[in-house]
Amino acid sequence: MKREDHIKITKMFFSGNGYNNVHDWIDELYKPYLDFAHWIERHNLEALKEKYKEGTEEYWVGVLHIICDWFSHCREVYIPENKEEVETILKELMLI
């Protein structure tokens, strides 16, 4: 999903705040040539819990970002628990 789409959806759910900092952190490791490889590090609950306190708006923005990416790219409404689960799923889908 494109960054501007993440911001637009986040603003709808979080009183107009786009939480750019959360989206920046989740996709900070993204390089176009890595494709889905950057998901392993930060597209999971374990990474979110390490960065943001569970239950905060930043945490829920991160959850929304990850769910949107999984649905947008894999047609799955899902949020993996940890890096290993992300890697396993991406390999099964032959995306990495």
Average pLDDT over every residue of 73-88: 92
Number of Cβ within 10 Å of residue 75's Cβ equals 9
Note the pTM of the prediction, 2 decimals: 0.90
pLDDT of res. 31: 79
Taking the alpha carbons at both ends of the chain, their separation in whole angstroms is 17
Digit-coded pLDDT (tens) for 14-39: 988 999 999 999 999 887 767 788 89
Digit-coded pLDDT (tens) for 30-74: 877 677 888 999 999 999 999 999 999 999 999 999 999 999 988
